[in-house]
With several copies, the nearest count.
Chain A
Amino acid sequence: MALPLVPKLLRAHLAELAENDARIDGRQRWEGRNLEAEISVLPRAEGSARVRMGDTIVFAGVKFQIMKPYSDRPNQGGLMCSAEIRPVAGRHWESGPPSPESIELGRVVDRGIRESGCIDVDALCIIPGEKVWQVILDLFAISDDGNLFDAFALAGIAALRSAVVPAERFEVGEDYPLNLSKTPIMCSYHKVGTRFVYDACGREELGGDERIHITLGDDDHVHSLQKGLKGIFTTKEFTEIMGHAQERSKELRKIVDSL
């Protein structure tokens, strides 16, 4: 991710805005961007979703493969989550092997879903010890104007909720829905100037510092945390963020559950 020369000016501008409790796109500190989400948008995927948050647009697609289970878990299927940020999504994304940023994106979203236990891995067993389903969640960015994390996590959980196990095509029984028992939701915060804001846009990411990603389950249980980038924060700052995440995750969960 090549860094342009402007960030210094941008940083100064953002810091000034922060002092006046303002944001570069006019939002309030805890305000998210306009959100659109729809499911079943990809005809070749067994589950899919498209999420738009401001000018950030992503797809998530679910595919299934049959694999041999791990020897220590003969009755359990698996989840693989892969984020690919191709050059289509922004001028700073380049082709080539996966960048550290895209690896982190995939792993953080993966953990939030996996650790919540929302997928019943035992229900993915076909023949114990021989064949189980591997669920593959592919996260794909179309337009990156900041906060790919939340967009991917939202699209990912929505796509999984809409997914149908293609047992007929693989000739191992009848199709059945991949029921999720929970709806983990990620909320991300970026330090811009002297304070953390929710749902940073691209310019805030470019001129900001560290970010914190929180994934909460239905009951405010914490399933995943990640602090990214250089930067220092205090326990007090974290507590404030966690408070907002508890509220916001409930709103987003309602949206996902209604799709």
Chain B
Amino acid sequence: MGGYGDVQMIDENGLRVDGRGPGDLREITIQTGVVPVADGSCRMTWGTNEAIVAVYGPMECHPRKIQRQDRAVLDVAYNMAPFSTTDRMRPGFNRRSREVSKVTKDALESVVLLELYPRSKIRISIEIVTAEAGTRCVGLTAASVALADAGIPMTDMVVSVASGKINDIVVCDLNKEEDNYGEADLPMGILPNSGELVFLQMDGDLSQEEFNQAWQYNIDAAQSIHRLMVDSLKGGEN
């Protein structure tokens, strides 16, 4: 979190640089079936973020040492394409990508009915083609849609969204410019039907009160995103 509090990012009317109010989301579109050779797939744009997710499986699980006798395992790889960022992202091992892959896997394994497919593997590839801010939320949300598109049974889809703080004001869904100067970032993974959580991270500085506000923004935003997800799976693009 940059935290340069002297750059004015919110005007006297409480509007943000891109005209949104504190609790408003960036524009989101969702398409399924975008990777024809995959069992399920999703393309999601969110602001200028673009993520493409492919799901393969359930399939044979190798390497064998990750196989589980009583359930399927998810093999989740989150990756940023070399041309997704202003400075080219070098391909190859990357601690951040490893960590995002892990938290995404942990979130999705909480909802997929893994017990239905013992000894098998479901592969989920999340490619960030263009990155703005909040790519891990975009990737996790798009992965939920791709799993549904592949017909993999889940207790619920995961909706992921982040709120943050800028100029000491709590706002929902930071864009890239806000993220550069932001003072905190609270991404969450929410089950829209129960309100329960499967993913949670946070960086920065939030008082207990600010924290509660950011939490509430996320809970509310999850409901609107969930409607778009359901619509996309019904066949329409939003």
Contacts and interface: CB of A to CB of B under 8 A. Distances in A.
Interface string A139-173: 01011110000000000000000000000010000
Given A225-B201, A226-B200, A235-B197, A57 B81 contact: no
Main secondary structure of the interface of B (DSSP, over half): mixed
A250 interface: no
A104 B208 contact: no
B83 A235 contact: no
B125 A88 contact: yes
B37 A55 contact: yes
B98 A44 contact: no
Contacts of A65: 88
A234 B186 contact: no
B205 A44 contact: no
Contacts, number: 178
B196 A234 contact: yes
Main secondary structure of the interface of A (DSSP, over half): mixed
Contacts of A57: 35-36
A231 B198 contact: yes
Nearest to A90: B37
B197 A232 contact: yes
B166 interface: no
A232 B191 contact: yes
A61 B83 contact: yes
Interface residues of B, number: 62
B106 A228 contact: yes
Interface stretch (B7-15, B127-135, B230-238): B127-135
Given A57-B36, A82-B91, A231-B198, A91 B206 contact: no
A254 B38 CA distance: 32
Interface in A71-97: 82, 84, 86-91, 95, 97
B226 interface: no
Interface string B99-113: 101110010011100
B141 interface: no
Given A222-B206, A231-B110, A232-B110, A104 B37 contact: no
Interface size class of A (residues with CB under 8 A): 35 or more
A3 to B, nearest CB: 9
B35 A230 contact: no
B56 interface: yes
Interface in B14-54: 34-38, 48, 52-54
15 contacts: A42-B130, A82-B91, A88-B54, A90-B38, A104-B99, A106-B95, A111-B203, A138-B81, A219-B207, A225-B202, A226-B202, A227-B201, A228-B106, A232-B111, A235-B197
Interface of B: 1, 3, 34-38, 48, 52-54, 56-57, 59, 65, 77, 79, 81-86, 88, 91-92, 95, 98-99, 101-103, 106, 109-111, 123, 125-127, 129-131, 186, 191, 195-208, 211, 215, 219
6 tightest A-B contacts by CB? A61-B83, A225-B202, A88-B125, A55-B36, A227-B200, A45-B83
Given A88-B126, A89-B54, A100-B101, 16 more contacts: A42-B129, A44-B85, A88-B53, A91-B123, A95-B77, A97-B92, A103-B102, A104-B99, A107-B99, A138-B81, A143-B35, A223-B203, A225-B186, A225-B202, A232-B111, A238-B197
